[in-house]
Amino acid sequence: MGARISSLKARKILDSRGNPTIEVVVGIRDNGGDLFFGRAAAPSGASKGRLEAVDFPVGGVDKALEKVVEIAPKLSGIDAFDQVKVDETLRELDGTPNLSVLGGNTTVAISMAVAKAAASARKMPLYQHLGGNGGFELPYPLGNVIGGGKHAGGYAPDIQEYLVIATGARKTSEAIFINARVHKKVGEMLSEANSSFTRGKSDEGAWSPNICNEGALEFLARACELVSDETGVEVRPALDVAASSFYDSEKDLYVYKREAVTRDRGEQLDFILGLIEKFKLFFVEDPLHEGDFEGFAELTKKVGNECLICGDDIFVTNVERIEIGIRSKAANAIIIKPNQIGTLTDTFKAVELARRNKYVPVISHRSGETTDETIAHLAVAWHCPMIKTGVVGGERIAKLNELIRIEEELENKARMSRLR
C-alpha cells in the first residue's frame, strides 16, 4: 500500500505569542484513488540555540508561503509512507545545512503534515503509524510553573523555567492533573505572599512574579512537597536555566540581573550544584551556556544519579552536536524539538542516538506554540520518557489532553515509561 502526495498548501496562522507562523495541509491519494489529508503547524522559540535550523527564510512566513508554492510540484507524487524519502527531498530542495532557504519551520510543518496524512490513509493514530505496534509507553509530563528569562519580563527571575514533574505518577493523566495542582498551589502561595502579585503569566502559561531566582524555587519546592503529601504521589521540582540567554560571552560571565550579581564558570557550577542539593531537583536543563561541553560534563559527573542534566541549546536536536556531547559525557538527558532540526526523520535520528547512549530523550514544545498536538504522538511513538509541554493554556493542554486520549485509547496496551 502506498499513497502519493497530491497537494500541498500552506497558510499563515497565529502562534500563542500573537506572532505569525506556518500551517501546512498535505493531501495524499492512495492506490484506490481515495484522498487523505494531514495538517500540522510549526512553533517558535524565544531563547533559541545559536545552531538551530533557521526558522523562516529572509522575508519571514510570507516568503515561506511562496517557497511552498514553488516546491509543491517537486514533492508531488512522492510516497507519503516513505517519510525518509519525503524528508530527504525537503533537505535537497533547501540545499543548506541549516535549512535557511525554506526555513526549518516550513520543512517541519510539511514533514509532520505528510506523516499525519499517511496515518490517516492507514486509518491509524499518528503514534502507531510512526511507532509501529510494539508495546507503547506513555511519558511523564514536565511542566512550567514559574517563568522568567526571555519568557517573562520586569522583575521575574533570570532562570527561565521552574518546572514540575510527578515522578511517582502511575499514569500520564494522573501526572498531568498533579502538575496542574502544583501550578494552582504556587499561584495561591504567590498571591498570599504578595498582594501586588497580578497572577500574570509568562509565555508558556507559567506564573510570572516579581521574585528572586532562589525565592521562586522555594515556592515551587514547597508546593511540590504539599502536593506530594496530599496525593501520596512523589512530585519533584526541576529547572530550565537557559543559561545561554544571560551569559555574557565577552566577559565569560553569567549575568543575573534580578539580583545584580555575576557568576563566573566555577561559581555558576557551584550555584547550580547547590540548588540541586538543596531543592532535590529531578532535572536541570541548560545549566551552562551552549558552548561549554566540559562544564556540562563536570556537572553531570558531580551529580551522578541524583539529577538529570539535560542539554537543549547545546545539542539543538542535531546528531553532530549530540555526538560531541556523548564523547565528552556532557549530559544524561536531551531536549528534542522537531523544529530545531527541521524534519521528523532527523528528529527521530536524534532520539535514537540519544537513547543508544543512555540519554533520556525529552520531547519538547517551544515557548511560542499552536494547538498542534503532534509532539504528544511523537512521545508515545518514540518511547520518550518525558514530554515538556507546559501545564496550562490552550496551546499546552492541546498536547496534554491528546495524551489523555491516547492513554484511554491504549488502555492496557501501554505502560508508563521508565524515567531512568
List interacting residues with Zn ion (CB under 5 A). Answer: 240, 285, 312
Distance CA 290, CA 281 (A): 21
Among candidate residues 204, 298, 373, 402, the one labeled active-site is 204
The total number of residues shown for the chain amounts to 420
User: Which of 51/226 has CB closer to ligand PGA?
Assistant: 51
Distance CA 415, CA 121 (A): 27
Q: Which does 275 bind (CB under 5 to 8 A by kind): Zn ion, ligand PGA, none?
A: none
208 binds ligand PGA (CB under 6 A): no
367 binds ligand PGA (CB under 6 A): yes
Binds ligand PGA by CB under 6 A, chosen from 55, 240, 290, 292? 240
User: Which of 75/241 has CB closer to Zn ion?
Assistant: 241
Q: How many residues bind ligand PGA (CB under 6 A)?
A: 12
Q: Which does 347 bind (CB under 5 to 8 A by kind): ligand PGA, Zn ion, none?
A: none
Binds ligand PGA by CB under 6 A, chosen from 55, 298, 312, 373? 312
Kindly state the smallest distance separating residue 395's Cβ from ligand PGA, in Å: 12
Whether 63 is catalytic is no
Whether 66 is catalytic is no
Could you write out the three-class secondary structure of 152-186? CCCCCCCCCEEEEECCCCCCHHHHHHHHHHHHHHH
Q: Which does 45 bind (CB under 5 to 8 A by kind): ligand PGA, Zn ion, none?
A: ligand PGA
Query: Which of 372, 347, 373, 341 lies closest to 362 in space, CA to CA?
Result: 347
- Which residue reads 538527558 in cell numbers? 333
Residues 27-66, interacting with ligand PGA (CB under 6 A): 45-48
Q: How many helices (H) and strands (E) does the chain have?
A: 13, 16
* Nearest residue relative to ligand PGA (C-beta): 45
321 binds ligand PGA (CB under 6 A): no
Contact 329, 91 (CB under 8 A): no
Task: Name the E strands within 320-381.
Answer: 333-336, 360-364
User: Which of 227/314 has CB closer to ligand PGA?
Assistant: 314
Contact 138, 176 (CB under 8 A): no
Kindly state the smallest distance separating residue 163's Cβ from Zn ion, in Å: 10
Distance CA 196, CA 217 (A): 19
Residues 53-71: b if buried by 16+ CB within 10 A, e if exposed: bbbbbeebbeebbebbeeb
Kindly state the smallest distance separating residue 165's Cβ from Zn ion, in Å: 15
Among candidate residues 48, 116, 150, 337, the one labeled active-site is 337
> What residues are labeled active site?
204, 337
Write out the residues near ligand PGA by the rule CB under 6 A: 45-48, 160, 240, 242, 312, 335, 364, 366-367
